[in-house]
């Protein structure tokens, strides 16, 4: 049955980001599933026929490399892992391009590292390139540049769920679809008969977080916890997310029809500028400011700047212009912002009224420690 909310979300979406995980793209033995890639090409073409611009974030390079080289499993040595990714990436893009050409569309490979989105200039260049590729009516296929990455390969920091979320906020895409190997978020272990699918989530609170039941297997680095974090990033930025089963035929067609497939995470009613999106979700924080309850309320509920009077403490060494985490007294993340002062100066003026900054530092270049235009509310 069609859901009016889902129908509206799809109808108003211009750009749709689709994320496909390793388990969706490979067979049980780890070999790249070319038949499934062909089906994905058909489904993405259905989105294009519906007037949507599509960007794909695809895992599978390491899995493709393992199958191409005839390895028994995923290497643990970093250099070998990067070599396998280099071999597999060419096979992965080649497979996508061969399937997309049938629909008169070409694949455009875009390999990114975390630093590409951490640096403001490179971040904007990535955005401009992706939009240009969409204007050429190609289908950008994004993956992490595993051949040169270190952190991304060895930890969950670089999993493609997070990358897909960052790409979604970068493009201000209205909808992110995450294809998983389960039907969506369940209120218990998906393998148990008593567990029920959660159809719609309007707020990712502690109750929703408690539903996560991850399992670590095989080639995939992600899991429901990383998908939930991706949903939190995207919905906080004001966009929507659907987590659905990537193995089930016709899933995209059902999403196009507005059917209640998978789990829908509804966008929060926040409007973030392009700069705030970069600050909140892509730039790497260099330190932390701990603020009192009054400051928390001022910046989250009333849209105010962060003043020195509300700062309790700092952590880390950051410079003027660096992105910092703004946290409450229990160290829960509230916001991220660009600091107008270095860490040592913030330590000297914390807790003081703005009128006393010049008395302590010898000058007062800024009244605000973090101006509201440079603050992105990402928690609280």
Burial of 205 (0-12, 13-18, 19+ CB in 10 A): exposed
User: Which pLDDT score is estimated for 155?
Assistant: 36
Burial class (CB in 10 A: 0-12, 13-18, 19+), 68: middle
Strand order in the sheet with 375-377: 311-315, 287-291, 323-327, 333-338, 375-377
**Would you tell me how many other CB atoms lie within 10 Å of the CB of residue 312?**
15
Q: For 336, which DSSP code?
A: E
Strand partners, 202: none
Strand order in the sheet with 175-180: 107-112, 139-144, 53-58, 15-20, 175-180, 240-245, 263-265, 200-201
pLDDT digit string, tens, across residues 106-143: 999 999 988 899 999 999 999 999 999 999 999 999 99
- Domains of the chain and any CATH numbers: 4-274 (3.40.1160.10), 285-377 (2.30.130.10)
* Residue 148: per-residue pLDDT: 65
Summarised one tens digit per residue, pLDDT across range 136-149 is 999 999 998 866 66
What per-residue confidence (pLDDT) applies to 106?
96
Q: What is the pLDDT of residue 64?
A: 86
First vs last C-alpha separation in the chain: 35
pLDDT in tens, 272-308: 899 999 999 999 999 999 999 999 999 999 999 999 9
Q: For position 72, what pLDDT does the model report?
A: 81
Poorest-pLDDT segment among 68-82, 219-233, 342-356 = 219-233
User: In 3D, which of 179, 159, 163, 165 has the Cα closest to residue 219?
Assistant: 159
Which tens digits make up the pLDDT trace of 33-55? 889 999 999 999 999 999 999 99
Q: For residue 262, what pLDDT band results from cuts at 50, 70 and 90? A: very high
């Amino acid at each position: 049955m069609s859901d009016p909310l889902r129908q509206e979300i799809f109808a108003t979406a211009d750009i749709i980001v689709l994320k496909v995980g390793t388990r969706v793209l490979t067979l049980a033995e780890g070999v790249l599933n070319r038949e499934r890639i062909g089906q994905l090409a058909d489904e993405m073409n259905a989105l294009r026929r519906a007037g949507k611009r599509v960007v794909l974030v695809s895992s599978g390079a390491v899995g493709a490399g393992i199958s191409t080289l005839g390895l028994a499993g995923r290497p643990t040595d970093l250099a070998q892992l990067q070599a396998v990714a280099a071999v597999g990436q060419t096979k992965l893009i080649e497979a996508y391009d061969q399937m997309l050409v049938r629909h008169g569309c070409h694949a455009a490979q875009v390999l990114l590292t975390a630093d590409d989105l951490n640096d403001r200039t490179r971040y904007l260049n990535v955005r401009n390139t992706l939009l240009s590729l969409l204007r050429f009516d190609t289908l950008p296929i994004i993956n992490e540049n595993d051949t040169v990455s270190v952190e991304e390969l060895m930890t969950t920091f670089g999993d493609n769920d997070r990358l897909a979320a960052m790409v979604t906020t970068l493009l201000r895409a209205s909808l992110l679809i995450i294809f998983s190997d389960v039907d969506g978020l369940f209120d218990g272990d998906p393998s148990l008969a008593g567990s029920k699918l959660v159809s719609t989530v309007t707020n990712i609170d502690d109750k929703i977080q408690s539903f996560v039941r991850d399992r670590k297997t095989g080639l995939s680095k992600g899991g429901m916890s990383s998908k939930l974090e991706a949903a939190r990033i995207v919905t906080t930025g004001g966009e929507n997310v659907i987590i659905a089963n990537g193995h089930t035929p016709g899933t995209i067609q059902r999403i196009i029809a507005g059917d209640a497939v998978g789990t829908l995470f509804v966008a929060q009613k926040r409007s973030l500028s392009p700069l705030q999106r970069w600050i909140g979700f892509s730039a790497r924080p260099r330190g932390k400011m701990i603020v009192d309850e009054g400051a928390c309320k001022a910046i989250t509920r009333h849209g105010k700047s962060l003043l020195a009077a509300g700062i309790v403490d700092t952590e880390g060494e950051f410079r003027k212009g660096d992105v910092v985490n703004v946290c409450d007294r229990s160290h829960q993340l509230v916001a991220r912002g660009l600091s107008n002062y270095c860490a040592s100066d913030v330590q000297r003026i914390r807790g003081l009224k703005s009128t006393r900054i010049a008395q302590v530092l010898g000058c007062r270049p800024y009244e605000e420690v973090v101006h509201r235009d440079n603050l992105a509310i990402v928690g609280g």
